[in-house]
Amino acid sequence: MLEGIDGSGTTTQLGELERHLARRGRRVHATREPTRGPIGRTLRELLLGQHRNPDGSEVDGRTMALLFAADRRDHLAREIEPALASGFDVISDRYVLSSLAYQAEEADRDWVAALATGIRWPDLTLLIEVDIELAAGRRAAAGRPVERYDADRTLERVARGYRRLAEEHPGVRLVDGSGSIATVAGRIAAEVDGFLEASAATGPSAATATATATASHGRVFPAAVGRARPAS
């Protein structure tokens, strides 16, 4: 899973990572959240400020959290599980960590986490870290419309949440997102290659063996790389 605040480069680096893994001879399925499915499309419209309440206010944070959780479960059933069953590596621009970082800013964090109960969790998540100012500059340079969570103060809190999550989850690794696209892609590739080599040398851990068998040896790389395993 590639994770990070908006403007950190997750979407760009997803394509870079997909090409890198393909060059290694691996079968890759690249995806993203919000998805292109029906719930994901609604979420993208909401992020742009559409579908407001009758009084003109935005949809509340708990509703957003529920929609993201529903989109994720649809994502698993519609794309991730079938790809894993076919032996593909699955890489994603955002996954469950995004909800714990973003939606926990608008709703109770424990409640948001509970919505992810039973969700497959990646062995490796790469959190791309950039300064708030650099992220804002990248969004502006790309001509992206302003979205629900783009305010600097909001992203400062989200970035702190991401860092806290990285400290809590051993499968999350930090990647410096500053520099050129190629430079950041090289850092990500090094993390992924190291994980793959270590995994090949040691074999699947006891924690992931069951999920690996279910997934026909496919891997989930939300934020990077990893065999999918059920969340606790």
Q: Which CATH superfamily is domain 2-230 in?
A: P-loop containing nucleotide triphosphate hydrolases (3.40.50.300)
The predicted pLDDT at position 231 comes to 43
List of residues 6+ apart from 17 with CB closer than 8 A: 2, 30, 91, 185, 188, 189, 192, 221, 224
Angular region, 17: left φ>0, alpha ψ -120 to 50, beta rest: alpha
Stated as kind and residue range, the H or E segment containing 174 is strand 172-176
Q: pLDDT tens for residues 116-153?
A: 999 998 878 999 999 999 999 999 999 999 999 999 99
Flag whether pLDDT at 214 surpasses 50.
Answer: no
User: pLDDT tens, 90-113?
Assistant: 999 999 999 999 999 999 999 999
- What is the pLDDT of the chain when averaged over all its residues? 88
What percentage of the chain reaches a pLDDT higher than 70? 87
